[in-house]
C-alpha cells in the first residue's frame, strides 16, 4: 500500500477473527510477524478489503493486550521432545511455529457510520497523521482554530507523534481539571504538572484569554525552584522540547509566598536562600482576612447553631465595622485579633457586672467558648495570622498572565494549611466570578488529594471547597490540577469531574482496585512498570488511553535546588530585617539596622519591617525609621539638692530618741 | 466448507438444472475407508555389505536440511449426475525453507491446483463443454457408457470405481506438484531437501544429491523374511545397512531403515523410517548413509505432536501440512 507521501508501506499485521474470538465494533485482533515493532499502547490502522458505501473502511485502534503461543498442545509435548532437558531444546533444529496475537481497542472508525465490526484487513503502524486522526485531534488542530496543548510524544514502531489535548477540555469551558496519579518518589506527578504548565503557558491560545497558576507546595522543596533552570537536560529531552514546541526554560514569572515562622523573623519555607529573596514574599493575614474562614479552623463540635450565630454576628457587625452598644463602655473598631480580644473582654465584663447570662441573645457560655476558639487562631497559625491586623497577601486583582504563584505550605501545621487552601481558593473563585482577578483562567495545583479530598472521612471545609471547584470551577475559569498517589482514595466526584487524567507508574495494589477494571491486564502491567517520563493520558477526545513520553521539566528539581540553595538557619531579628529591607534597598547594612532598632521591642521592629515592605517607599531608610514611635531623649538624672538638716537634739535630752 | 468447493458447486448449479448437491463438505474421500494395499516383504539387493544388518549411526545428530517438502490432497464429491460422481479436488505442495531455525515458504507461492474430475463419456456433452470453459481445470476420469460394452467397461461405470479412478488421478496430480517443486529446489539449491515420501517417481529428484526421501509407511518392507528380526530389533539411533530399490518404471535409489525412537512395547514399525537417497559409488554408501541418518535424527525434535504420526514425522513436514491446510 502507498503511504501518504507515496512511499510503499508494508503491513505489519493482519486482522483475524474466529467464532470463539470474534471482532466487534470496539475491539479486534490481529497477528504480526515475530519481529514487528508492536507493543502494548501501539496505535495501528486497519484498512478493510471491501468498500462500505463506496468507501474502504479504515479503523484505528490501540493495542491493549498481547498473546504469544505455539502449535504445542501440551507443555508435556515439549518435555518429551527434548527428553526432559531444557538445555537440549536449544539444539533443536527448528523452532516451533509461534504467533504474536494482539487485541486492539478501537479508537475511531472512518467513516463513523455505519458502525460495523472491524473488517478483516491489513494492519499498518500509525504514522503522525494516523495518530492525529485516531485520537480525534484533527478536530482541534485545524489552522486558525488550533487549541492543542502538547502533552507528550507518542512513541512506537518508529513513529514519534506529538500528542495534544484540547485546551477547551483542559481549562474549560467544555471540560476541565486534571488528575495525576502515580507512586511517590519517581518524579512523575510533580514533573508532569510542571511540564504541562510550561506547555499550557506556551501554547494556550491568546484568543482564549490569559492564564496563571497557583501552586500549593505541600511537601519538601518540590515546587520551590520553578524559576531556576534545570542542571542539565539530556539530548532526548531537548529533542522532545523541540518537537513539542516548548522552550526548555524555567518559568519566566514566578512569585513565592510563605508565612513567617512562629518567631516571625524568617519565612517558613525551604526557599530562604538570600539569592532567591527577590521573589519570595511573606503571606500574612489579619483578622479580617481570616474571619470569613473561621469555620475552617473550628471543629464540628465547636460549631453548633449558637456558636454559628455568634460567629456570623461578629463577622457581619463587629469585625471591620464601627460597633457601639449601650451597655458597652465605648465604641469599637475591631481590625485585629488584639482589638477583638479587647471587645470580648468588655462584653464579658459588662455581662458579669450586670449579672446577666445573655447579651444580644448570645449566652455567656457561647461567648466565652467562641472567644477562646477565635483568640487562639493567631497562636495555632502563628506566622500566618498576625495579631496586629497587617496583611501581606497574594496580588489579588493584579494576577499576571503566564505567571506561577507558589504558596509554600509544606512546613505548616494542618490548621494553617487548611486555612490557606480555603481562603486562597475561595478568593480565586470570588474574584473570577467578579472578573477582577487579573487573568481569565487560573490553574490551582494541589498535591496529595488523598489527604485534602479523601473519599471517606469527615466532610471538611477544604474538601467541600475542592469539590465545588471540580464541579463548577470550569465555568469560571478555575481549574484544578490535582495529584495523588492513590486515585481510588480520592473523592469520586472530584475524580469524575476531571476531564483529563494522567497516570505515571502505578502501585500494583492501587491497580487492583475496582476503578481500574476497565483497563486490560496488559495495560495495568505496563502502568506498573512505566519508566520516568512516561504517562498514560486519558482525555475526552481520546476513546482509549494513550501512552506518551514527556521531557524532564526545565526547572531545577527540588532536591537539586535544596543542595544548591541551602536553607538558611533562622536568622536573628536584625539579620532578618536587614535581608527584607535589602530587597528594597541593597545599600542597607546590618549595622544600620542594629543602630535603628536597638532600643525597640521585637514586635515593633517586625511591624516596621512589614509596613516598609508593604509601602515599598523610595527612601527605604527614612520610611523604616519613621515607623518607630518617637522616644524622648535621655536625660541625666541629678541628685536633688539636700535641704538643710534639722538641728540635732542634745545628747542628754531624754526625749531625743 | 471451503470457498473453492462452494464455487465448484455454484458452477455445477449453472450447468445442471436441479443438481443434487452433496450434503455439506463432510470428510474428504482420502479419509474414507479404502481397500488396503496388501502388506508384503521384498528382498532388496544389499549395497553395503553382504546382507542386512544393524549399525549404530556414529556421531551426534546434525541439523543440515535446508528445506522440507510435502504435499496434500483433498477430494470431495460435488454432485452426482445420473449416478455419476463428479469430484472436486484441491492438491497442493510446498517447500518450507528453514532460516534461522524458523520455517518459511520457499519461493513466491506454494503449488496449488483445483480440478474437477469428470468422466467425460458418462456425462452429457454440453456439461463437459461447459465444465471445460469454467474456472477449474477439468480432468477426464475415463469410463464408458454401458450400452453394449464389455463387462470391464460395465464395471468401470460403478460409482466407486469412478471415485477410485478420480482419487488415483488426484494422487498423480499431487505427486506431479511435489516433483515440480523438488526439481526446482534441486536445480537451484545445494542444501539437502527433506522430502516426505519416496524419490523414485522423478528421475531428476531421485538422482539429485540434495534430495532425501523419508518414507513413514511400511506396507511394503524391504527385508528378507529371515532378517526381519534385524529390522524389528533396531534400537534408537541404529540403522540397517543400505540396499538398492529399483521399482519397475521408476528410478533406482539407495535406501535403508533408521530407528528414530524406542519402540519397545510398541508396534515394530513405530519410530521407524526408510530413507531414500540417490545412488552413489559403493565405497561412499556407508559414509553417505551415516551422514543422512544423522541429519534425519536431528529432526526428531521438536515433536510433531499432536499429529498421530509424530513418531516418524519431522516437525518440518508437519509444518508443511499445517501451512497447506491453512491456505487450501
Mean pLDDT of chain A: 88
User: Residue B146 pLDDT > 50, yes or no?
Assistant: no
Q: What is the mean pLDDT of residues B50-72?
A: 94
Residue range A278-319, pLDDT digits in tens: 899 999 998 888 888 877 777 666 677 888 888 889 988 888
Q: What is the mean pLDDT of residues B122-132?
A: 84
Please tell me whether residues B151 and B275 are part of one structural domain.
Answer: no
Between CA B269 and CA B304 the distance in angstroms is: 17
Our CA angle for A551, A554, A555, nearest 5°, is 135
Torsion (CA) B194, B195, B201, B203 in degrees, nearest 10? -20
Last residue in a domain, options B131, B149, B176: B176
Whether B217 is covered by a domain: the verdict is yes
Residue ranges with strand state E in A399-477: 404-408, 441-446
Please tell me whether residues B253 and B126 are part of one structural domain.
Answer: no
Residue range B233-286, pLDDT digits in tens: 999 999 999 999 998 889 999 999 999 999 998 999 999 999 999 999 988 999
Q: What is the pLDDT of residue B149?
A: 46
Q: What is the mean pLDDT of residues A409-434?
A: 90
Residue range A125-174, pLDDT digits in tens: 999 999 999 999 999 998 888 899 999 999 988 889 999 999 999 998 88
User: Residue A437 pLDDT > 90, yes or no?
Assistant: yes
Chain A: give the shortest CA distance to residue B305, in Å: 7
Please tell me whether residues B56 and B122 are part of one structural domain.
Answer: no
B305, B315, B322 ranked by CB distance to A94: nearest: B315
Task: Answer yes or no: are the C-beta atoms of B255 and B245 closer than 8 Å.
Answer: yes
Q: What is the pLDDT of residue A641?
A: 67
Q: What is the pLDDT of residue A648?
A: 60
Q: What is the pTM of this model?
A: 0.80
Chain A: give the shortest CA distance to residue B289, in Å: 20
Between CA B113 and CA B136 the distance in angstroms is: 9
Give contacts of A 324-383 with B, CB under 8 A. none
Q: Residues of B at the A interface (Cβ-Cβ below 8 Å)?
A: 63, 65, 98, 101-103, 298-303, 305-306, 315-316, 319, 322
Please tell me whether residues B128 and B164 are part of one structural domain.
Answer: yes
Residue of A nearest to B320 (CA): A97
Please list every residue in chain A whose beta carbon sits closer than 8 Å to the beta carbon of residue B301: 81-82, 88-89, 92-93
Task: Answer yes or no: are the C-beta atoms of B232 and B36 closer than 8 Å.
Answer: no
Q: What is the mean pLDDT of residues A26-41?
A: 94
Q: What is the pLDDT of residue A48?
A: 92
Could you list the residue range(s) of the whole structural domain that residue B299 is in?
A: 39-65+192-328
Between CA A11 and CA A14 the distance in angstroms is: 8
Please list every residue in chain B whose beta carbon sits closer than 8 Å to the beta carbon of residue A72: 302, 305
Query: Other CB atoms closer than 10 Å to residue A460's CB: what's the count?
Result: 17
Q: What is the mean pLDDT of residues A320-341?
A: 87
Whether B19 is covered by a domain: the verdict is yes
Please list every residue in chain B whose beta carbon sits closer than 8 Å to the beta carbon of residue A73: 305-306
Number of domains in chain B: 2
Q: What is the pLDDT of residue B70?
A: 96
pLDDT bracket for residue B64 (50, 70, 90): very high
The answer to whether the Cβ–Cβ distance between A94 and B306 falls below 8 Å is no
Q: What is the mean pLDDT of residues A314-328?
A: 88
Q: What is the pLDDT of residue A524?
A: 93
Q: What is the pLDDT of residue A130?
A: 94
pLDDT bracket for residue A109 (50, 70, 90): very high
Query: Other CB atoms closer than 10 Å to residue A314's CB: what's the count?
Result: 24
A82, A93, A96 ranked by CB distance to B63: nearest: A93
Chain A: give the shortest CA distance to residue B278, in Å: 24
Q: What is the pLDDT of residue B7?
A: 72
Superfamily of domain A160-282+403-561: P-loop containing nucleotide triphosphate hydrolases (3.40.50.300)
Size of interface A-B (CB pairs under 8 A): 52
Please tell me whether residues B214 and B306 are part of one structural domain.
Answer: yes
pLDDT bracket for residue B19 (50, 70, 90): low
Task: Answer yes or no: are the C-beta atoms of B73 and B173 closer than 8 Å.
Answer: yes
Whether B99 is covered by a domain: the verdict is no
**What are the Cα distances from residue B235, in Å, to A27, A139, B239?**
54, 74, 8
Q: Give the 3-state secondary structure of residue A365.
A: helix
Between CA B208 and CA B192 the distance in angstroms is: 10
pLDDT bracket for residue A26 (50, 70, 90): very high
The answer to whether the Cβ–Cβ distance between A73 and B305 falls below 8 Å is yes
Mutate which of A87, A94, A99 to disrupt the B interface (most B C-beta within 10 Å)?
Answer: A94
Between CA A533 and CA A356 the distance in angstroms is: 69
Between CA A536 and CA A547 the distance in angstroms is: 4
Ranges of each domain in chain A: 13-134, 160-282+403-561, 288-380, 571-626
Task: Answer yes or no: are the C-beta atoms of B294 and B286 closer than 8 Å.
Answer: no
Q: What is the pLDDT of residue B147?
A: 45
- Which residue reads 479404502 in cell numbers? B34
Q: Would you call A35 an interface residue with chain B, using a CB distance cutoff of 8 Å?
A: no
Query: Other CB atoms closer than 10 Å to residue A610's CB: what's the count?
Result: 21
Q: Give the 3-state secondary structure of residue B327.
A: helix
Last residue in a domain, options B176, B211, B228: B176
Mutate which of A82, A85, A93 to disrupt the B interface (most B C-beta within 10 Å)?
Answer: A93
pLDDT bracket for residue B148 (50, 70, 90): very low
Whether B207 is covered by a domain: the verdict is yes
Q: Would you call A79 an interface residue with chain B, using a CB distance cutoff of 8 Å?
A: no
Please list every residue in chain B whose beta carbon sits closer than 8 Å to the beta carbon of residue A96: 302, 315
**What are the Cα distances from residue B85, in Å, to A69, B18, B19, B20, B90?**
43, 15, 12, 11, 16
Please tell me whether residues B266 and B319 are part of one structural domain.
Answer: yes
Provide the H-helix boundaries in A156-250: 167-170, 189-203, 235-244
B301, B306, B319 ranked by CB distance to A92: nearest: B301
Residue with the bigger pLDDT between A195 and A577: it is A195
Task: Answer yes or no: are the C-beta atoms of A114 and A1 closer than 8 Å.
Answer: no
Q: Give the 3-state secondary structure of residue A430.
A: helix
Residues in chain A: 657
Please tell me whether residues B25 and B59 are part of one structural domain.
Answer: no
**Helix, strand, coil fractions of chain B, as percent rounded to 5:** 30, 25, 40
Helix (H) or strand (E) holding B162: helix B159-188
Q: What is the pLDDT of residue A610?
A: 81
Q: Residue A19 gets which letter from DSSP?
A: S
Please tell me whether residues B236 and B133 are part of one structural domain.
Answer: no
Residue range A591-637, pLDDT digits in tens: 999 888 888 888 888 888 888 887 888 899 998 888 887 766 556 66
Last residue in a domain, options B128, B143, B176: B176
Residue ranges with strand state E in A52-193: 58-70, 98-110, 121-125, 148-156, 159-166, 178-181
Residue with the bigger pLDDT between A126 and A83: it is A126
The answer to whether the Cβ–Cβ distance between A92 and B98 falls below 8 Å is no
Chain A: give the shortest CA distance to residue B303, in Å: 5
Please list every residue in chain A whose beta carbon sits closer than 8 Å to the beta carbon of residue B298: 93
Whether B183 is covered by a domain: the verdict is no
Whether B294 is covered by a domain: the verdict is yes
Whether B103 is covered by a domain: the verdict is no
Task: Answer yes or no: are the C-beta atoms of B61 and B300 closer than 8 Å.
Answer: yes
User: Residue A188 pLDDT > 90, yes or no?
Assistant: no
Residue with the bigger pLDDT between A584 and A541: it is A541
Please tell me whether residues B8 and B142 are part of one structural domain.
Answer: yes
Whether B80 is covered by a domain: the verdict is yes
Please tell me whether residues B197 and B115 are part of one structural domain.
Answer: no
Q: What is the pLDDT of residue B22?
A: 53
Residue range A517-559, pLDDT digits in tens: 989 999 999 999 998 899 999 999 999 999 999 999 999 988 8
Residue of A nearest to B97 (CA): A94
Between CA B74 and CA B28 the distance in angstroms is: 6
**What are the Cα distances from residue B177, in Å, to A381, B71, B207, B210?**
93, 8, 18, 18
Provide the H-helix boundaries in A459-572: 461-476, 492-496, 508-511, 521-528, 558-564
Chain A: give the shortest CA distance to residue B299, in Å: 6
Between CA A325 and CA A330 the distance in angstroms is: 8
Instruction: Provide CB contacts within 8 A for B34, sequence distance 6+.
Output: B164, B167
Please tell me whether residues B61 and B171 are part of one structural domain.
Answer: no
Q: What is the pLDDT of residue A171?
A: 92
Q: What is the pLDDT of residue B97?
A: 95
Task: Answer yes or no: are the C-beta atoms of A446 and A485 closer than 8 Å.
Answer: no
Mean pLDDT of chain B: 87
Task: Answer yes or no: are the C-beta atoms of A314 and A377 closer than 8 Å.
Answer: no
Please list every residue in chain B whose beta carbon sits closer than 8 Å to the beta carbon of residue A88: 301
Q: Give the 3-state secondary structure of residue B41.
A: strand
Task: Answer yes or no: are the C-beta atoms of A412 and A269 closer than 8 Å.
Answer: no
Task: Answer yes or no: are the C-beta atoms of A168 and A136 closer than 8 Å.
Answer: no
Please tell me whether residues B61 and B128 are part of one structural domain.
Answer: no
Q: ipTM of this predicted complex?
A: 0.76
Amino acid at each position: 500500500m502507498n503511504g501518504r507521501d507515496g512511499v510503499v508501506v508494508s503491513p505489519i499485521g493482519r486482522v483475524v477473527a474466529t467464532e470463539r474470538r470474534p471482532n466487534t465494533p470496539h475491539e479486534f485482533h490481529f497477528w504480526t510477524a515475530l519481529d514487528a515493532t508492536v507493543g502494548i499502547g501501539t496505535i495501528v490502522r486497519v484498512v478493510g478489503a471491501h468498500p462500505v458505501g463506496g468507501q474502504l473502511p479504515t479503523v484505528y485502534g490501540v493495542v491493549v493486550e498481547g498473546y504469544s503461543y505455539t502449535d504445542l498442545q501440551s507443555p508435556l509435548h515439549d518435555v518429551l521432545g527434548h527428553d526432559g532437558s531444557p538445555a537440549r531444546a536449544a539444539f533443536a533444529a527448528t523452532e516451533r511455529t509461534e504467533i504474536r496475537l494482539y487485541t486492539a481497542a478501537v479508537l475511531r472508525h472512518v467513516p463513523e457510520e455505519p458502525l460495523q465490526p472491524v473488517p478483516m484487513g491489513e494492519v499498518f503502524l500509525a504514522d503522525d497523521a494516523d495518530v492525529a486522526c485516531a485520537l480525534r485531534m484533527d478536530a482541534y488542530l485545524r489552522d486558525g482554530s488550533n487549541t492543542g496543548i502538547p502533552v507528550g510524544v507518542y512513541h512506537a514502531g518508529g513513529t514519534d507523534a506529538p500528542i495534544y489535548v484540547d485546551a477547551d477540555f483542559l481549562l474549560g469551558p467544555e471540560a476541565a481539571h486534571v488528575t495525576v496519579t502515580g507512586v511517590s518518589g519517581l518524579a512523575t506527578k510533580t514533573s508532569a504538572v510542571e511540564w504541562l504548565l510550561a506547555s499550557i503557558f506556551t501554547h494556550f491560545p491568546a484568543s482564549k484569554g490569559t492564564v496563571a497558576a497557583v501552586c500549593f507546595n505541600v511537601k519538601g522543596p518540590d515546587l520551590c525552584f520553578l524559576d531556576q533552570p534545570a542542571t542539565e537536560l539530556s539530548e532526548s529531552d531537548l529533542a522532545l522540547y523541540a518537537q513539542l514546541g516548548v522552550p526548555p526554560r524555567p518559568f519566566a514569572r514566578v512569585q513565592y509566598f510563605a508565612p513567617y515562622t512562629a518567631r516571625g523573623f524568617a519565612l517558613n519555607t525551604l526557599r530562604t536562600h538570600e539569592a532567591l529573596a527577590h521573589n519570595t514574599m511573606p503571606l500574612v493575614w489579619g483578622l479580617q482576612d481570616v474571619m470569613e474562614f473561621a469555620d475552617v479552623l473550628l471543629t464540628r463540635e465547636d460549631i453548633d447553631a449558637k456558636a454559628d450565630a455568634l460567629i456570623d454576628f461578629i463577622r457581619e457587625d463587629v469585625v471591620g465595622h464601627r460597633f457601639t452598644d449601650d451597655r458597652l463602655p465605648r465604641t469599637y473598631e475591631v481590625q485585629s485579633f488584639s482589638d477583638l480580644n479587647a471587645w470580648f473582654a468588655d462584653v464579658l465584663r459588662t455581662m458579669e457586672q450586670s449579672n446577666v447570662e445573655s447579651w444580644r441573645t448570645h449566652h455567656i457560655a457561647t461567648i466565652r467558648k467562641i472567644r477562646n476558639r477565635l483568640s487562639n487562631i493567631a497562636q495555632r497559625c502563628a506566622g500566618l495570622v498576625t495579631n496586629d491586623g497587617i496583611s501581606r497577601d497574594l496580588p489579588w486583582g493584579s494576577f499576571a498572565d503566564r505567571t506561577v504563584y507558589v504558596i509554600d505550605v509544606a512546613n505548616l501545621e494542618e490548621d494553617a494549611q487548611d486555612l490557606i487552601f480555603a481562603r486562597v481558593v475561595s478568593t480565586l473563585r470570588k474574584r473570577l466570578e467578579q472578573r477582577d482577578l487579573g487573568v481569565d483562567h487560573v490553574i490551582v495545583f494541589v498535591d496529595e488529594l488523598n489527604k485534602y479530598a479523601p473519599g471517606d472521612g469527615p466532610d471538611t471545609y477544604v474538601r467541600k471547597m475542592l469539590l465545588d471547584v471540580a464541579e463548577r470551577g470550569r465555568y469560571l475559569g478555575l481549574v484544578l490540577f490535582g495529584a495523588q498517589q492513590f486515585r481510588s482514595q480520592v473523592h469520586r466526584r472530584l475524580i469524575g469531574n476531571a476531564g483529563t487524567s494522567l497516570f505515571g507508574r502505578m502501585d500494583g495494589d492501587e491497580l487492583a482496585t475496582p476503578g481500574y477494571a476497565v483497563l486490560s491486564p496488559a495495560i495495568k502491567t505496563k502502568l506498573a512498570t512505566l519508566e520516568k517520563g512516561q504517562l498514560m493520558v486519558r482525555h475526552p477526545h481520546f476513546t482509549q488511553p494513550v501512552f506518551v513520553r514527556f521531557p524532564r521539566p526545565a526547572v531545577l528539581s527540588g532536591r537539586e535546588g535544596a543542595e544548591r540553595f541551602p536553607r538558611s538557619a533562622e536568622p536573628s531579628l536584625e539579620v532578618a530585617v536587614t535581608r527584607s529591607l535589602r530587597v528594597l534597598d541593597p545599600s542597607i547594612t546590618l549595622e544600620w539596622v542594629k543602630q535603628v532598632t536597638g532600643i525597640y521591642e521585637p514586635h515593633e521592629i517586625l511591624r516596621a519591617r512589614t509596613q516598609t515592605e508593604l509601602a515599598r517607599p523610595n527612601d527605604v531608610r527614612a520610611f523604616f525609621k519613621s515607623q518607630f514611635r518617637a522616644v524622648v531623649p535621655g536625660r541625666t538624672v541629678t541628685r536633688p539638692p539636700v535641704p538643710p538638716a534639722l538641728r540635732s537634739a542634745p545628747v542628754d535630752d531624754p526625749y531625743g530618741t | 466448507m471451503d470457498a473453492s468447493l462452494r464455487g465448484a458447486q455454484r458452477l455445477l448449479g449453472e450447468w445442471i438444472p436441479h443438481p443434487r448437491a452433496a450434503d455439506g463438505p463432510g470428510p474428504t474421500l482420502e479419509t474414507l475407508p479404502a481397500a488396503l494395499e496388501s502388506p508384503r516383504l521384498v528382498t532388496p539387493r544389499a549395497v553395503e555389505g553382504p546382507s542386512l544388518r544393524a549399525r549404530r549411526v556414529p556421531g551426534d545428530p546434525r541439523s543440515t536440511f535446508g528445506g522440507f517438502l510435502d504435499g496434500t490432497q483433498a477430494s470431495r464429491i460435488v454432485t452426482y449426475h445420473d449416478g455419476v460422481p463428479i469430484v472436486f479436488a484441491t492438491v497442493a505442495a510446498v517447500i518450507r525453507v528453514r532460516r534461522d531455525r524458523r520455517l518459511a515458504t520457499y519461493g513466491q507461492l506454494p503449488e496449488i491446483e483445483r480440478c474437477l474430475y469428470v468422466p467425460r463419456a458418462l456425462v452429457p456433452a454440453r456439461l463437459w463443454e461447459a465444465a471445460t470453459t469454467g474456472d477449474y481445470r477439468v480432468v477426464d476420469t475415463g469410463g464408458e457408457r454401458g450400452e453394449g460394452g464389455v463387462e470391464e467397461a460395465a464395471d468401470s461405470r460403478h460409482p466407486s470405481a469412478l471415485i477410485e479412478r478420480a482419487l488415483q488421478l488426484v494422487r498423480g496430480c499431487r505427486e506431479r506438484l511435489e516433483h515440480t517443486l523438488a526439481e526446482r529446489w534441486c536445480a537451484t539449491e545445494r542444501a539437502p531437501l527433506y522430502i516426505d515420501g519416496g524419490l523414485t517417481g522423478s528421475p531428476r529428484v531421485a538422482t539429485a544429491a540434495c534430495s532425501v526421501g523419508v518414507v513413514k509407511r511400511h506396507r511394503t518392507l524391504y527385508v528378507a523374511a529371515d532378517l526381519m528380526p534385524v529390522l524389528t530389533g533396531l534400537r534408537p539411533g541404529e540403522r540397517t545397512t543400505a540396499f538398492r530399490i529399483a521399482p519397475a518404471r521408476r528410478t533406482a535409489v539407495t535406501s535403508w531403515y533408521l530407528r528414530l525412537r524406542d519402540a519397545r512395547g510398541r508396534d515394530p514399525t513405530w519410530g521407524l523410517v526408510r530413507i531414500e537417497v540417490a545412488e552413489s559409488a559403493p565405497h561412499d554408501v556407508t559414509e553417505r548413509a551415516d551422514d543422512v541418518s544423522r541429519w534425519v535424527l536431528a529432526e526428531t525434535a521438536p515433536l510433531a505432536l499432536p499429529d498421530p504420526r509424530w513418531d516418524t514425522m519431522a516437525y518440518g513436514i508437519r509444518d508443511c501440512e499445517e501451512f497447506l491446510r491453512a491456505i487450501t
